[in-house]
């Protein structure tokens, strides 16, 4: 291709500079400044105030609760994601497209509604409310409700990472393993899992970030009892509404860190994935 034609295939220099500058300005204002202000506000009263804010007993218990909820919700959705992607990617059956759409459904439901549906099922005025009260089982305004709402909002993450990946890989390798005498579990562990590990890891990370950071759905079912049903994001709201801004931003900085770790892990995973596919 000659040089003048090549030149005509891109924009003139001034236009490129303008477009790149706009990109920088837009991202700096919309994404960069919020990051910076969280850090600055968190440390605005110094390192001591930051440390004090993070070592309050209520923060520690909120942190433990957040970890507990994620530790239940994420593994369940991983098992589901693996089962769903195995059935959908390795076999042909009627209604497959509908099933994929239904798996994505929680993404298009407002988080507030994701919490509301469990109140309607298990709350004091609900269909099962009387029975639950008689048997002294509390789901809403307690940990089980937080876990259910979190499972709902993070439901599709692992499945939707794995389904396209496993569809792309086909069934030949697994079929060969089975024909050579491997059983189902061996086939999955030795053949499928090594092929999908990076996609799986990425799905788990996204699922975990949302599980630990979810606000709307858990807010509706939480009851906001300090030290008992308050997760880290809910605790940020409580501190903020009490005008305790330094503490609110200090606790928020933990969640910012979670976001950074997720983004960094995504970078590593996508690099590994490219390496695995050999381009």
Partner 1 sequence: MKSSSTVLPGFRLTLAFTILYLLVIVLIPLAGLFVRSATLSADEFIAAVSAPRVMASYRVTFLAAFAAALINAVFGFLIAWVLVRYKFAGKKLCDTLIDLPFALPTAVAGIAMAALYAPDGWIGKYLAMMGLQIAFNPYGIVVVLAFVSLPFVVRTLQPVLQDLDKDIEEAALGLGATRAQTFWRVLLPHVAPAWITGVTMALARALGEYGSVIFIAGNLPMVSEIVPVIIVSKLEQYDYAGATAVALVMLLASFALLLLVNVLQGWSARRMRA
Q: In the chain, what's the furthest Cα-to-Cα distance?
A: 83
Q: Which is nearer to partner 1, 47 or 91 (CB)?
A: 91
Q: How far is the CB of 175 from partner 1 (least distance, A)?
A: 6
Minimum distance from CB of 151 to partner 1 (Å)? 6
Q: How far is the CB of 221 from partner 1 (least distance, A)?
A: 10
Query: What gap in Å lies between CA 50 and CA 158, rounded to an integer?
Result: 35
The minimum distance between CB 196 and partner 1, in angstroms, equals 14
Closest contact distance (angstroms) between CB of 31 and partner 1 is 5
Q: Which is nearer to partner 1, 3 or 179 (CB)?
A: 179
Q: Distance (Å, rounded) from C-alpha 81 to C-alpha 230?
A: 28
Give min distance, CB of 34 to partner 1, in A. 4
Cβ closest to partner 1, residue 47 vs residue 243 = 243
Nearer to partner 1, 90 or 197 (CB): 90
Rank residues 86 and 138 by Cβ distance to partner 1 and give the closer one. 86
Q: How far is the CB of 152 from partner 1 (least distance, A)?
A: 6
| Rounded distance between C-alpha atoms, residue 213 and residue 225, angstroms | 18
CA dist., res. 224 & res. 217, Å (int): 12
Nearest CB to partner 1, comparing residues 96 and 197:
96
What's the rounded Cα separation, in Å, for the pair 145 and 138? 8
- Rg of the chain over all Cα atoms, to the nearest angstrom: 24
Structure tokens at 264: 């960094």
CB contact set of 101 (below 8 Å; sequence gap of 6+): none
Based on CB atoms, which residue is closest to partner 1, 110 or 276? 110
Q: Are 202 and 269 in contact (CB under 8 A)?
A: yes
- Whether the CB-CB separation of 151 and 142 falls below 8 Å is answered with no
**d(C-alpha 53, C-alpha 244), whole Å:** 10
| Separation between Cα atoms, residue 115 and residue 100, nearest integer Å | 23
């Amino acid at each position: 291709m000659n040089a003048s034609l090549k030149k005509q295939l891109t924009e003139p220099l001034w236009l490129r500079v303008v477009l790149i500058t706009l990109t920088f300005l837009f991202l700096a204002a919309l994404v960069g400044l919020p990051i910076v202000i969280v850090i600055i506000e968190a440390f605005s009263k110094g390192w001591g105030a930051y440390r004090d804010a993070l070592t309050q007993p209520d923060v520690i218990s909120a942190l433990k609760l957040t970890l507990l909820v994620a530790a239940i919700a994420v593994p369940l959705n991983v098992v589901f994601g693996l089962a769903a992607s195995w059935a959908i990617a390795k076999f042909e059956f009627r209604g497959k497209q509908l099933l994929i759409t239904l798996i994505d459904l929680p993404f298009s439901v407002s988080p507030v509604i994701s919490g509301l549906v469990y109140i309607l099922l298990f709350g004091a005025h609900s269909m099962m409310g009387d029975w639950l009260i008689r048997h002294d089982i509390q789901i809403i305004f307690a940990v089980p409700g937080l876990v259910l709402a979190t499972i709902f909002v993070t439901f599709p993450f692992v499945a939707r990472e794995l389904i396209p990946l496993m569809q792309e890989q086909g069934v030949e390798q697994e079929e060969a393993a089975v024909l050579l005498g491997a059983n189902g579990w061996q086939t999955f562990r030795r053949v499928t899992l090594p092929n999908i590990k990076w996609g799986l890891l990425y799905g788990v990370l996204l699922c975990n970030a949302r599980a630990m950071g979810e606000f709307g759905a858990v807010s509706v079912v939480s009851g906001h009892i300090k030290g008992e049903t308050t997760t880290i994001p809910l605790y940020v709201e409580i501190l903020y509404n009490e005008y305790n801004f330094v503490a609110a931003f200090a606790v928020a900085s933990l969640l910012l860190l979670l976001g950074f770790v997720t983004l960094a892990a995504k970078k590593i995973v996508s690099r590994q994935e490219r390496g695995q596919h050999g381009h």
